[in-house]
């Protein structure tokens, strides 16, 4: 029997302690690496937040920059500057500015005479009204009177609120009649920063803090102000104090990132507590030290286990043969298991190939389904123009028989317009199938309604349907596609006529519109049977219809809903309390376009 191996010496823990002392300096590079890593991560995170805040701040200011030149063109404001003592003109101007302030969201809009006196203001009926106050000392007034765009940040001397002022001259030829001023409230921009460890700091061209997430830092100077700057502050009075106190920040306690806004002379900065970085670095170093300690303990345990293992080798020499036999048996089992695994991998590869083929067939089936849906949509949308073309062509034949060539030529022109509309519908349906996106344009709502009604006029008169319109005389401009809007209106009015065909006279359709701060709501109502519960829940689903297959495919409302969402609007379905269905088109308001609206009447038979 072979002799047992010698018993190893017990490990000396003093050697492990010495090894620990030798490895401790490795924590210093770890600290540098952790500091650089967390600093870069913190810088990137705060930089993204800073860029987002700067974009929001500039977006708020740029939105109001063009407002004073536009408002300076209003005739009622020019007349007030030319007749300063006319109380009626002053009252109209005050109310006009109040309405514009509500629509634009500006803080205050006011009109100043050449001597700096405020003639009209949107807050004319409030305790802090600007009317009769003189702001000729403000830089924006001086710049505007010199013919340049006026810009200025400061506290309101009346309201005490922070704001940014945009001013523009009101001209009559080369003569400057006065100054139009828009004040933008900046108090809410601080709330955009939110509750973050990093602090917001916005300073003006004097280095004075004007916006900050720390209220106690507000209107403190971040640098030493010279005599000229102090004199300029005293002259323009942007703050309540003429000599801003210095901002006392502990050196080395903050990490600073800044963005310079060259156009307005501001600097937007974030101040991140150094302690936030130090805490992360200390955690990383502590984790490294704990890992080093665990390594040393594990090394000691391994050394002790090695000794015990060698001792057991001497005692288990007789059992080694059995152990080897078990190893051979286990190896055999592993070979069998590997063989089964290879077989399973082969089967899995074959199943994957079958899955790929099935996916290819599914994609082809989806393409065929989409092609069928587009064909059904095109046939549905072209049905109305084709019916109108057929009617105009028959009328043209009758007119030619009666030698009314001019009227026949008018019908041919209408047929030509309808063919152009059919081509436009096909193009829009193709774009809709590709999920194409078109930029909305300004569209006059009343002419679009008139065109849709003209397309269905013959059918409406034949059914003896009374049309009741309640639309404002002023043209309503909405953001939409001109062809798409007419397509939606035509489909909805055609559906209303289909519903009215199920009841006996009297038959009526109501068209009305409401304006709000969000946009325009167009209501289409009939006195038909209305929607069932199932129809209200599934009206937006393609191919869902309560009609027979000969009457419709169930695509009209689904297409209208998709077109409205593509235009940034909304289509709502409901039943009116007095009976019948009511559909609401919720559209976004737009700037005035070039078309003139047709004059609406109260009711039409």
pLDDT at residue 221, rounded to an integer: 82
Tokens in use for 158? 């009346």
| Average per-residue pLDDT for the chain | 80
Helix (H) or strand (E) holding 164: strand 162-172
Distances (CA, A) of 223 to 206, 218, 220, 248, 537: 8, 14, 9, 10, 65
Residue 416 lies in a domain: yes
pLDDT at residue 183, rounded to an integer: 92
Q: Could you tell me if 204 and 133 lie in one domain? A: no
The 10s digit of each residue's pLDDT in 436-464 is 445 678 888 888 888 888 878 888 888 88
Residue 111 lies in a domain: yes
Q: Of 103-107, 276-280, 282-286, 601-605, where does the model show the most confidence?
A: 103-107
Q: Could you tell me if 96 and 234 lie in one domain? A: no
Q: Could you tell me if 471 and 575 lie in one domain? A: yes
pLDDT at 513 over 70: yes
Residue 163 lies in a domain: yes
The 10s digit of each residue's pLDDT in 136-169 is 888 899 999 998 999 888 877 766 778 889 999 9
pLDDT confidence of 261, banded at 50, 70, 90? confident
Q: Could you tell me if 559 and 576 lie in one domain? A: yes
pLDDT at residue 550, rounded to an integer: 42
Number of domains, the chain: 4
Residues 232-244: what's their mean pLDDT? 77
Residues 27-50: what's their mean pLDDT? 81
Residue 306 lies in a domain: no
Residue 247 lies in a domain: yes
Q: Could you tell me if 478 and 337 lie in one domain? A: no
pLDDT confidence of 405, banded at 50, 70, 90? confident
Supply the DSSP symbol for 242.
S
Q: Report the distance separating Cα 560 and Cα 563, nearest Å.
A: 5
Residues 27-53: what's their mean pLDDT? 81
**Can you give the CATH number for the domain in which 559 is found?**
3.30.565.10
pLDDT at residue 599, rounded to an integer: 36
Residue-range definition of the domain harbouring residue 233:
189-275
pLDDT at 579 over 60: yes
SS (H, E, C) 515-538: ECCCEEEEEEEECCCCCCHHHHHH
pLDDT at residue 231, rounded to an integer: 80
Residues 185-198: what's their mean pLDDT? 76
**Can you give the CATH number for the domain in which 220 is found?**
3.30.450.20
pTM strictly above 0.85: no
Q: Could you tell me if 453 and 504 lie in one domain? A: yes
Q: Between helices 405-433 and 556-566, what is the axis angle to 10°?
A: 70
pLDDT at 602 over 70: no
Q: Could you tell me if 71 and 160 lie in one domain? A: yes
Q: Could you tell me if 368 and 394 lie in one domain? A: yes
Q: Could you tell me if 600 and 474 lie in one domain? A: yes
Q: Report the distance separating Cα 360 and Cα 277, nearest Å.
A: 52
Q: Could you tell me if 573 and 454 lie in one domain? A: yes
pLDDT at 4 over 50: no
Residue 37 lies in a domain: no
Last residue of one domain, picked from the residues 436, 469, 496: 436
Last residue of one domain, picked from the residues 165, 188, 211: 188
* pLDDT: which is higher, 537 or 171: 171
Residue 339 lies in a domain: yes
pLDDT at 494 over 90: no
Residue 136 lies in a domain: yes
Residue 341 in 3-state DSSP?
helix
pLDDT at 297 over 80: no
Q: Could you tell me if 427 and 474 lie in one domain? A: no
The 10s digit of each residue's pLDDT in 306-353 is 777 877 887 777 788 888 888 888 888 989 988 899 999 988 888 878
Q: Could you tell me if 227 and 357 lie in one domain? A: no
Give burial (CB, 10 Å; 0-12/13-18/19+) of 260: exposed
Last residue of one domain, picked from the residues 383, 413, 436: 436
């Amino acid at each position: 029997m072979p002799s047992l191996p010698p018993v190893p010496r017990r490990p000396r823990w003093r050697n492990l302690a010495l090894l620990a002392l030798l490895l401790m300096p490795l924590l210093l590079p770890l600290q540098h690496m952790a500091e650089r890593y967390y600093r870069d991560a913190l810088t990137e995170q705060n930089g993204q937040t800073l860029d987002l805040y700067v974009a929001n701040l500039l977006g708020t200011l740029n939105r109001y920059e063009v407002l004073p030149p536009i408002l300076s063109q209003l005739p009622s404001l020019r007349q007030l500057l030319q007749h300063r003592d006319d109380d009626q003109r002053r009252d109209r101007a005050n109310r006009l500015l109040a309405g514009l302030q509500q629509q634009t969201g500006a803080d205050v809009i006011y009109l100043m005479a050449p001597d700096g006196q405020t003639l009209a203001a949107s807050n004319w009926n409030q305790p802090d009204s600007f009317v009769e106050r003189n702001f000729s000392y403000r830089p924006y007034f001086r710049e505007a009177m010199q013919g340049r765009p006026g810009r200025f940040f400061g506290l309101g001397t009346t309201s005490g609120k922070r704001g940014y002022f945009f001013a523009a001259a009101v001209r009559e030829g080369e003569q400057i009649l006065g100054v139009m001023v828009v004040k933008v409230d900046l108090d809410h921009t601080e709330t955009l920063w939110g509750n973050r460890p990093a602090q917001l700091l916005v300073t003006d061209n004097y280095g004075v803090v004007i916006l900050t997430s720390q209220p106690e830092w507000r209107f403190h100077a971040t640098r030493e102000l010279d005599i000229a700057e102090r004199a300029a502050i005293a002259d323009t009075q942007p703050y309540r104090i003429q000599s801003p106190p210095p901002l006392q920040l502990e050196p080395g306690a903050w990490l600073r990132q800044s963005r310079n806004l060259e156009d307005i002379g501001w600097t937007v900065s974030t101040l991140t507590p150094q302690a936030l970085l130090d805490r992360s670095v200390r955690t990383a170093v502590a984790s490294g030290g704990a890992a080093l300690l665990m390594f040393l303990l594990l090394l000691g345990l391994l050394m002790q286990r090695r000794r015990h293992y060698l001792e057991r080798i001497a005692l288990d020499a007789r059992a080694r043969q059995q152990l080897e036999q078990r190893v051979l048996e286990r190896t055999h089992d592993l070979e069998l298991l590997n063989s089964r695994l290879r077989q399973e991998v082969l089967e899995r590869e074959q199943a994957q190939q079958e899955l790929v083929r099935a996916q290819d067939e599914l994609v082809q089936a989806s393409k065929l389904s989409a092609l069928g849906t587009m064909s059904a949509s095109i046939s549905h949308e072209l049905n109305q123009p084709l019916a109108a073309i057929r009617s105009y062509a028959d009328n043209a034949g009758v007119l030619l028989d009666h030698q009314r060539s001019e009227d026949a030529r008018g019908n041919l022109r209408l047929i030509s317009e309808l063919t152009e509309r059919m081509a436009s519908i096909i193009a829009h349906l193709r774009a809709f199938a590709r999920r194409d996106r078109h930029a909305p344009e300004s569209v006059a709502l009343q002419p679009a309604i008139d065109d849709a009604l003209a397309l269905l006029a013959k059918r409406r008169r034949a059914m003896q349907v009374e049309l009741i319109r309640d639309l404002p005389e002023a043209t309503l401009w909405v953001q939409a596609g001109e062809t798409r809007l007419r397509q939606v209106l035509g489909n909805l009015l055609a559906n209303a006529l289909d519903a009215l065909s199920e009841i006996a006279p009297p038959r009526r359709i109501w068209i009305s519109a409401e304006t709000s701060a969000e946009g325009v709501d167009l209501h289409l109502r009939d006195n038909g049977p209305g929607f069932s519960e199932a129809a209200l829940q599934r009206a937006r689903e393609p191919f869902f219809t309560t009609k027979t297959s000969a009457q419709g495919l169930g695509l009209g409302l689904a297409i209208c809903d998709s077109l409205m969402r593509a235009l940034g609007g909304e289509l709502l379905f409901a039943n009116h309390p007095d009976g019948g269905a009511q559909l609401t088109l919720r559209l976004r308001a737009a700037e005035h376009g070039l078309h003139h609206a047709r004059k609406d009447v109260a009711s039409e038979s």
